[in-house]
Amino acid sequence: MTARFAVLLIAATFCGMVGAARGEELPRSAACRTALKALDGAEEAIAAAAGASSPSLSDQERQHVVAARLQPLRKRVGDACLGGLTTSPPPSQHSWVVPTAPARAAVLAPRAPMPTAPPVALPRPQAPVTVTQCNAATCLASDGSTLTRVGPTLVGPRGTCTVQGVFLRCP
Task: Dump the DSSP string for 136-163.
Answer: SSEEEETTS-EEEEETTEEEETTEEEEE
Average pLDDT estimate for 114-137: 87
Average pLDDT estimate for 93-112: 66
pLDDT band at 85 (very low <50, low <70, confident <90, very high): low
Report the distance separating Cα 158 and Cα 171, nearest Å. 8
The mean of the pLDDT values for the chain is 75
Q: Can you list the alpha helix ranges (DSSP code H) found in 23-162?
A: 30-53, 59-82
CB distance 74 to 8 below 8 Å: yes
pLDDT band at 141 (very low <50, low <70, confident <90, very high): very high
Report the distance separating Cα 136 and Cα 123, nearest Å. 37
137 or 46: which leads in pLDDT = 137
pLDDT band at 68 (very low <50, low <70, confident <90, very high): confident
Residue 73 clears pLDDT 50, i.e. is over it: yes
Residue 165 clears pLDDT 50, i.e. is over it: yes
